[in-house]
A and B are shown apart, each in its own frame.
Chain A
Amino acid sequence: MATLTPRMKGWLERFGCHIGTATKKGFPTTIVVEQASIEGDSTVVFQLTEAQANQIKGNMEENPYVALAPHAIASIRAAYQFKGAATLSGNTLKVDLTEIYCTKPGPEAALRLDVLPPEHVVKFEESRWRDIGPPK
C-alpha cells in the first residue's frame, strides 16, 4: 500500500482526478471526476455519475488498474500520479493505491515516492513546493 501525505490528500479531495483506465489489451479511456474522498492513508474514493460508471464498467471488469492525475489547477500545482487497483461498486469507484510518483517537470519527473519513508516524502514536498495544500 502507498501512503498519501496531507498535501496529496488535500489536493485530491478538492479537485479530483483524471482517471486513466484501459482494456486488458491496452485501449485507453479517461474520465474526469472533480472531487474525491480519502479513506485512511491509501484509498481514494470517487462518486461517479451513471454516465461515467457505464463508460468504464467494461474496463473495470477486465482490468482493475487505473492511473490518477489531479484535475484543474491541481494539474499544475500538485504534480503527482497515483496508481492502483480499482473496484467499481454501483457508482462508487474505490482505488487502493500501490504507487505514487512525482510528475513535477525536471529531474524529479517520475520519481517514485511511495518507496521512500513517509517522513522523507513530506520533507521532499516541503522542499519542492511553496504550498502545503490547495487554497482555502
Chain B
Amino acid sequence: MKLTDEMKEVLKAGSSRSVVTYLTTSNTTGKCNIYLQPYTDVYKDEFIFSPDLFAQKTKININENRVGVMTVANPEAGMTWAFRGPCNIIQWGHPPKFNFQGVTAGEVLERWGDWGQLEALDSVDADIQPKAVGQRGVIVLKVEEVYSYKSEESGKKIL
C-alpha cells in the first residue's frame, strides 16, 4: 500500500513537519504496549522505519506477534492516521539477506542502522533528551492499511 505524499512528508527523517508517533504492539494474549517514537522514515512508499533505541516490551511483543499500529501522537489538522501492518525489528546481527516483507536486513541496516547519521537525535529539548542511546536495530512496519482515529469517524478506512 502506497502512502500519500503528505504522509510521507511528515514521516520522513529530518522533516521540518515531522511528527511524534506511537507504535502499538501486543503479545499473543492481547496485552498491548504503546511505544513513543519521535524518529521515523519512509522507504519504498510503504514501509515506515524507526530506530530501536529503547524498545523493551515492544521487542518482546514483536518476537511473538509481528503486527503493529503506528498512530500520529501530535497531529496537525487532519493527520489522525493509524498505520497498521506486519511489524518486525531488523537487528544488528541479522544476516544481510534476512528478508522481512520484501526488505532485507542488509539494505535496512546500511542506511538506517545508525539513525544519528540520518537526523540529529538530540534535536529535542535538553531536559527530555536521552543521555545516551544505543541503537540495536530498526523497527520495520509495512503499511497494509491506514484508518482514521478521528473520534467521529474512528476506524474509517483512509487507504
Nearest CB on B from A108, distance (A): 8
Q: Mark A110-121, 1 if CB is under 8 A from B, else 0.
A: 111001000000
Q: Mark A90-111, 1 if CB is under 8 A from B, else 0.
A: 0000000000010000110011
The answer, among A101, A106, A107, A115, for a CB contact under 8 Å with B65, is: A115
User: Mostly helix, strand, loop or mixed at chain B's interface?
Assistant: mixed
> Please, which residues of chain B bring their CB within 8 A of the CB of A110?
59-60, 63
Q: Is B137 interfacial (CB 8 A cutoff)?
A: yes
User: Mostly helix, strand, loop or mixed at chain A's interface?
Assistant: loop
- Tell me which of B78-86, B87-95, B122-130, B149-157 binds A: B87-95
Q: Are A112 and B63 in contact (CB under 8 A)?
A: yes
Q: Given the complex of chains A and B, what is the CA–CA distance between A107 and B140 in angstroms?
A: 14
Q: Is B28 interfacial (CB 8 A cutoff)?
A: yes
The answer, among B59, B60, B90, B93, for a CB contact under 8 Å with A106, is: B93
Q: Are B60 and A115 in contact (CB under 8 A)?
A: no
Q: Is B5 interfacial (CB 8 A cutoff)?
A: no
Q: Are B63 and A107 in contact (CB under 8 A)?
A: no
Nearest CB on B from A113, distance (A): 9
Q: Given the complex of chains A and B, what is the CA–CA distance between A101 and B64 in angstroms?
A: 9
Query: Chain A: which residue is nearest B66 at the CB level?
Result: A115
Q: Are A112 and B64 in contact (CB under 8 A)?
A: yes
Nearest CB on B from A119, distance (A): 18
Q: Are B93 and A107 in contact (CB under 8 A)?
A: yes
Q: Given the complex of chains A and B, what is the CA–CA distance between A101 and B27 in angstroms?
A: 14
Nearest CB on A from B30, distance (A): 14
Within 8 A of A (CB), among B49-102: 59-60, 63-65, 90-94, 98
Q: Given the complex of chains A and B, what is the CA–CA distance between A110 and B93 in angstroms?
A: 14
The answer, among A101, A106, A107, A115, for a CB contact under 8 Å with B28, is: A115
> Please, which residues of chain A bring their CB within 8 A of the CB of B94?
107
Query: Chain A: which residue is nearest B92 at the CB level?
Result: A107
Query: Chain B: which residue is nearest A105 at the CB level?
Result: B93
Q: Mark B27-40, 1 if CB is under 8 A from A, else 0.
A: 01000000000000
Nearest CB on B from A83, distance (A): 12
Which A residues contact B (CB, under 8 angstroms)? 101, 106-107, 110-112, 115
The 3 closest A-B pairs by CB, nearest first: A112-B64, A107-B91, A107-B93
A-B contact pairs, 20 of them (CB 8 A): A101-B63, A106-B91, A106-B93, A107-B90, A107-B91, A107-B92, A107-B93, A107-B94, A107-B98, A107-B137, A110-B59, A110-B60, A110-B63, A111-B63, A112-B28, A112-B63, A112-B64, A115-B28, A115-B64, A115-B65
